[in-house]
């Protein structure tokens, strides 16, 4: 998504002056970023005032945030699923009802609004864990990737980058033995391609570019038969693409996997070649010590989604132990109970404090890295998430003068952002050098709340 002039289409140079910037280890006042062709060309420090012609970003400017795990259509569940009580499995029934009403057009409208909400929260790239592939009853659309293409187009219209993690979802759960899996039920028929080979054939038709990367996902060990896991892993390996998987989110899934295969989901994935440095396990909540060692020794990443994990009463995953074992940590908003990567970052630390009754498991710098550089790497963009020459010019500026952030000295801006700020404090978002959110307003989507209300309202029965 290079920065161009409308008249010529040729790359142009733009200069941003940052009153305070996060340079990975410290807060630096007075930083100038020169941008060319959508990337940072030069970084200058010690610049007290904006140079002539520069755009001033006043506040605390960070690398753009990476939302590593998203299901865009779950945004339509917000508040609706807070009525009454239940479990993940009862929540899932409500989710199925929303999924049943989506079309390529309504999904585009919803996702465009959701991705615009992400931009307002400082998110510059999203990993969309996409499994809603087909029409009602499982009938393919004339364009077999109509739903995936709608998501890619929605992200482009909202101005953020996307890694479309096209997801294999082939069964409804474990059957009575290692080779037996239940057929998808009527709700899941839209998700399934029938076999992993058919999934791979359809997914291979997706086209990526600098704006949209194409990756793969295994929905879960209950949704992809063990004998077909290697097909998905091989597809990603051949393309050197990111591969994500929901892993041990529920104890019921772990118990069923042990009963069917005599091993944990983590061991099952390892035995079929799914784990590795381009793979990210999402949630990684209910793990054994051996599971943690397997994930860490293979450099498989971990995406924590604390606001969803607590909303669904899933549990608190062993994030600190996983990182210590060698698993890079990233963050996602998953079901979009809220869309706020600052909340996800602090929740990972605060949840660990509750579990251990001890403070200070991660520094603010480490939490910001999980929300940016390590998240971008998990989405196939290892050069992103830093304010350095050659990196994508993706930035977010957080106000230091709101009711939440006013008071602390500027050198503690990282701590302020992680432990006090919210998405509401984002003032500017820049993607590929383009000023996407300016003074808290989206420049491409005029009225994001109205777009969300209209898109979600269209899905009500």
Query: Any residues with CB less than 8 A from the CB of 44 and at least 6 apart, and which?
Result: 31, 32, 34
The closest of 97, 249, 246, 275 to 167, measured between CA atoms, is 246
* CA distances from residue 263 to 39, 53, 269, 311 in whole angstroms, order as listed: 46, 62, 10, 28
Running DSSP on this structure, what letter comes out for residue 28? Answer: E
What distances in angstroms separate CA 214 from CA 127, 158, 235, 331, one per listed residue?
A: 10, 18, 11, 19
Q: Identify the sign of the CA torsion 40, 46, 51, 56.
A: positive
Tokens of 374: 């390590």
Q: Which of 182, 186, 252 is nearest to 224 (CA)?
A: 182
Phi and psi at residue 276, to the nearest 5°: 155, 175
Token duo for residue 89: 């499995």
Could you say which of 291, 314, 334, 340 is catalytic?
334
Distances (CA, A) of 435 to 39, 42, 334, 426, 428: 13, 18, 26, 13, 7
Using CA atoms, how far apart are residues 247 and 269, in angstroms rounded to an integer? 9
Known catalytic membership, residue 37: no
Who contacts 325 (Cβ-Cβ below 8 Å, separation ≥6)?
Answer: 292, 293, 295, 296, 297
- Cβ density class 122-136: b for 16+ within 10 Å, e for less: bbbbbbbbbbbbbbe
The b-or-e profile of 248-272 (16+ CB within 10 A means b, else e) is: bbbeebbebbeebbebbbbbbbbeb
DSSP β-bridge partners for residue 196: none
Query: How far apart are the C-alpha atoms of 399 and 245, rounded to whole Å?
Result: 35
Distances (CA, A) of 360 to 62, 114, 141, 340, 420: 22, 33, 50, 21, 15
How far apart are alpha carbons 286 and 314 in whole angstroms? 9
CA–CA distance, 389 with 344 (Å, rounded to integer): 28
d(CA 255, CA 264): 8
Q: Catalytic site residue 334?
A: yes
Q: How far apart are CA 7 and CA 15, in angstroms?
A: 20
Helices vs strands, H then E, count in the chain: 15, 18
Of the candidates 20, 219, 283, 361, the residue annotated as catalytic is: 283
- Residues with a catalytic annotation lie at 283, 334
């Amino acid at each position: 998504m290079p920065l161009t002039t409308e008249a010529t289409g040729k790359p142009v140079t733009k200069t941003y002056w940052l009153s305070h910037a996060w340079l990975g280890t410290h807060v630096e006042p007075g930083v100038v970023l020169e941008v060319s062709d959508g990337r940072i060309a030069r970084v200058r420090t010690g610049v007290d005032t904006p140079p002539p012609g520069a755009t001033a970003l006043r506040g605390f400017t960070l690398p753009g945030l990476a939302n590593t795990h998203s299901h865009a259509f779950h945004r339509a569940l917000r508040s609706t699923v807070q009525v009454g009580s239940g479990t993940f499995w009862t929540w899932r029934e409500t989710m199925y009802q929303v999924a049943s009403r989506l079309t390529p057009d309504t999904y585009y409208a919803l996702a465009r609004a959701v991705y615009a909400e992400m931009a307002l929260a400082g998110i510059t790239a999203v990993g969309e864990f996409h499994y809603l592939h087909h029409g009602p009853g499982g009938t393919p659309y004339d364009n077999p990737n109509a739903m995936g293409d709608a998501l890619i187009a929605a992200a482009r219209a909202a101005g953020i980058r996307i890694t479309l993690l096209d997801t294999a979802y082939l069964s409804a759960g474990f059957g009575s033995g290692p080779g037996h899996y239940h057929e998808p039920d009527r709700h899941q028929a839209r998700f399934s391609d029938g076999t992993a080979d058919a999934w791979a054939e359809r997914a291979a038709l997706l086209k990526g570019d600098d704006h949209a990367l194409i990756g793969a996902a295994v929905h879960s060990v209950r949704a992809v038969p063990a004998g077909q896991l290697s097909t998905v892993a091989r597809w990603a390996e051949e393309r050197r693409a990111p591969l994500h998987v929901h892993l041990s989110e529920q104890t019921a899934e772990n118990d069923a996997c042990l009963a069917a295969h005599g091993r944990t989901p983590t061991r099952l994935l390892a035995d079929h070649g799914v784990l590795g440095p381009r793979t990210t396990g999402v949630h990684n909540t209910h793990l054994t010590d051996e599971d943690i060692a397997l994930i860490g020794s293979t450099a498989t990443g971990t995406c924590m989604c604390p606001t969803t994990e607590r909303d669904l009463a899933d549990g608190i995953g062993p994030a600190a132990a996983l990182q210590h074992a060698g698993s890079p940590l990233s963050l996602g908003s998953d079901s979009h109970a809220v869309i706020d990567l600052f909340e996800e970052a602090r929740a990972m630390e605060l949840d660990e404090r509750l579990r251990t009754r001890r403070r200070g498991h991660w520094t603010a710098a480490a939490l910001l890295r999980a929300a940016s550089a390590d998240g971008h790497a998990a989405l196939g963009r290892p050069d992103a998430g830093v304010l350095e020459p050659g990196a994508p010019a993706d930035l977010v500026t957080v106000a230091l003068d709101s009711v939440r952030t006013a008071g602390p000295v500027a050198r503690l801006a990282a701590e302020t952002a992680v432990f006090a700020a919210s998405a509401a404090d984002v003032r500017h978002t820049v993607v590929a050098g383009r000023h996407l959110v300016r003074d808290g307003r989206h420049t491409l989507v005029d009225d994001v709340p109205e777009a969300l209300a209209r898109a979600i309202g269209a899905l009500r029965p």
